[in-house]
């Protein structure tokens, strides 16, 4: 089964792209758990919070992937949490790296360029670092040996690019 992961820096159009791809392919997508998780915290997140989020996200995605028949579409995965933990806390638990290395061979990553306008949001932290964080994603995907495509342009260009790249 193909698993397609939409990834990238904050406010780079991941969820919009997930919705558009799900609509195009007439399927569901697995949401990113970070937003509802952080909203429930109602305080600044800690390292332990983000690791707990990683476990919850992985559990939700495992169930979602196993419920799909043709392919699974994920709005982010553990790569986002790995980068987040390393960027904000200078550490990441080994189990996340181990899990990513096992999963990467069955996944195709759509790396969203931060070329779209930034939309302020109280949960977002890195408005002026999106290009830098994009490069971190690219480096991590290359280190993992992941199959990935960089997605750029406006909303319609992104969708067309994804459809042709995925060849589903």
Domains of the chain: 2-166 (3.40.50.300)
Provide the CB-side half-sphere exposure for 20 (13 A, CA): 16
Q: What is the mean pLDDT of the chain?
A: 91
Evaluate if residue 168 carries a pLDDT over 70.
no
Q: What is the mean pLDDT of residues 107-134?
A: 84
CA distance 51 to 64: 20
Evaluate if residue 122 carries a pLDDT over 80.
no
pLDDT tens-digit map of 31-84: 999 888 888 887 888 999 999 999 999 999 999 999 998 899 999 999 999 999
Q: How far is CA 31 from CA 10, 22, 56, 61, in A?
A: 14, 11, 12, 9
Alpha helices in 68-151 (DSSP H): 78-89, 94-103, 130-144
pTM of the model: 0.92
Asked if residues 1 and 106 have their Cβ atoms less than 8 Å apart, the reply is: yes
CA distance 18 to 16: 5
């Amino acid at each position: 089964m193909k698993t397609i992961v939409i990834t990238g820096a904050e406010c780079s159009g991941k969820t919009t792209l997930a919705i558009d791809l799900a609509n195009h392919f007439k399927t569901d997508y697995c949401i990113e758990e970070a937003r509802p998780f952080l909203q429930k915290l109602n305080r600044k997140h800690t390292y332990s919070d983000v690791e707990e989020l990683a476990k919850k996200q992985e559990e939700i995605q495992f169930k979602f992937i196993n419920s799909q028949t043709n392919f699974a579409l994920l709005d982010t995965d553990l790569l986002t949490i790995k980068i987040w933990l390393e960027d904000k806390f200078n550490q990441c638990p080994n189990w996340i790296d181990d899990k990513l290395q096992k999963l990467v061979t069955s996944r195709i990553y759509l790396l969203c360029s931060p070329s779209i306008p930034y939309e302020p949001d109280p949960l977002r932290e890195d408005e002026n670092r999106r290009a830098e964080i994009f490069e971190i994603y690219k480096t991590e995907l290359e280190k993992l040996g992941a199959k990935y495509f960089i997605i750029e342009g406006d909303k319609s260009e992104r969708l067309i690019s994804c459809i042709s790249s995925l060849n589903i």
